[in-house]
């Protein structure tokens, strides 16, 4: 699969549980960090978006764990973003060990909430989706 964004990591000792593998909750940290770095790569700072009244919230997470990571493993997270309805977006994120072994498939749905608590699809994020630019221009 081709990805719009990719970020490299290395497993740190303290991310592992007593079994010597990465704790299941840590994978969500990897995915979230990748999403934030993706936004930054498009000059969208998460804190600045919040200051402008664009509050991005996760609404659903699906994770399929395929194979564990261990301390010292090098890996990368691939990311694609799409629209998942009128007011929701979706990040499809996969984790691969550096040797190409698939570790995890994930889908993270999100929504944006304005300062009045109303959901909307921010133009700043719509601009990341070329097909949406054409749709909103009509």
**Active-site residue set:** 17
For 39, phi and psi rounded to 5 degrees?
-60, -45
Mapped onto helix, strand or coil, the DSSP state of residue 51 is helix
Instruction: At 47, list the tokens.
Output: 């804190």
Please provide the distance, in angstroms rounded to a whole number, between the alpha carbons at the two ends of the chain.
31
**Whose CA is closest to 126, among 84, 63, 66?**
84
Helix (H) or strand (E) segment spanning residue 126: helix 123-126
Mapped onto helix, strand or coil, the DSSP state of residue 56 is strand
What one-character DSSP code corresponds to residue 57?
E
């Amino acid at each position: 699969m081709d990805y719009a964004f990719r970020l490299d990591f290395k497993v740190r000792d303290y991310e592992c549980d007593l079994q010597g593998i990465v704790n299941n909750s840590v994978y969500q940290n990897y995915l979230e960090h990748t999403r934030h770095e993706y936004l930054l790569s498009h000059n969208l700072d998460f804190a600045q978006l919040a200051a402008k009244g664009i509050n991005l919230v996760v609404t659903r997470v699906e994770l399929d764990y395929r194979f564990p990571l261990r301390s010292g493993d090098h890996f990368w997270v691939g990311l694609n973003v799409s629209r998942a309805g009128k007011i929701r977006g979706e990040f499809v994120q996969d984790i691969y060990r550096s040797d190409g072994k698939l570790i995890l498939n994930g889908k993270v749905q999100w929504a944006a909430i304005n300062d009045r608590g109303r959901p909307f699809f921010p133009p700043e994020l719509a601009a990341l989706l070329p097909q949406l630019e054409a749709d909103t221009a009509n």
